[in-house]
Amino acid sequence: MPSNVPPSFRELLGDCTESAVHLEMRDAYAVDYERGPFADWRAGHRHDPADRASWWRPWLDLVAETVGRGVTVRRARIVSEPVSEYIRYERAGTFTNVAAGEQVRWLPRRQASDIALPGNDFWLFDGRLIQWNHFAGDGSSQGPELSDDPIAARLCAGAFGTVWERAAPHDEYTIR
């Protein structure tokens, strides 16, 4: 019997056999200045790379499981420079993604001006299934949308590929 319930993100990654790529293009996402991880970071908290138990979380388990099955997981971030406070926060914590096996690169927005980019952040699974990530102006999530449109998938794959080629690997990107 068909279901109208969209697959969970865990299921989308679980169905991947080759690659999952994520393009992020915003300078901030749903920032809570009063509480939570961003507020803690602003107050001076930093993850200790040697204390893995303090920062390993379910997302990192999922990435490690996915990479362990032979799926390449890559994330590229297009960022404005000088970077926002939120991007500084993301940069400081990205070592956790890398530790889980995710490959991460950073591209200054000025270097992306001539790239045909989709209008929204996205995940592209195995080069064919897109999860668009829709956000409001304040960075709050407006929910995902799935698409298997082959033209849109080619746009996403091409955009991601060009960004990836130009972007600096996480350990080489210097905050400006």
Q: Look up the CATH number of the domain holding residue 77.
A: 3.30.870.10
Does position 116 have pLDDT exceeding 90, yes or no?
Answer: yes
Asked if 112 contacts 76 with a C-beta cutoff of 8 angstroms, the reply is: no
**Does any domain span residue 49?**
yes
**Does any domain span residue 114?**
yes
**Does any domain span residue 72?**
yes
**Does any domain span residue 2?**
no
**Does any domain span residue 3?**
no
Other C-beta atoms lying within 10 Å of the C-beta of residue 138: 9
Measure the CA–CA gap between 32 and 52, rounded to whole angstroms. 24
Q: What value does the mean pLDDT of the chain take?
A: 94
Q: What is the mean pLDDT of residues 142-171?
A: 97
Q: 21-35, 90-104, 146-160: which has the minimum mean pLDDT?
A: 21-35
Domain range spanning residue 81?
Answer: 9-172
**Does any domain span residue 151?**
yes
Q: With bands split at pLDDT 50, 70 and 90, how would you rate the model's confidence at 31?
A: confident
- Structural domain count, the chain: 1
Higher pLDDT, 100 or 1: 100
**Does any domain span residue 4?**
no
Give per-residue pLDDT as tens, 62-78: 999 999 999 999 999 99
Burial of 135 (0-12, 13-18, 19+ CB in 10 A): middle
Global pTM value? 0.94
Asked if 61 contacts 55 with a C-beta cutoff of 8 angstroms, the reply is: no
**Pairing mode, if any, of strands 141-147 and 168-169?**
unpaired
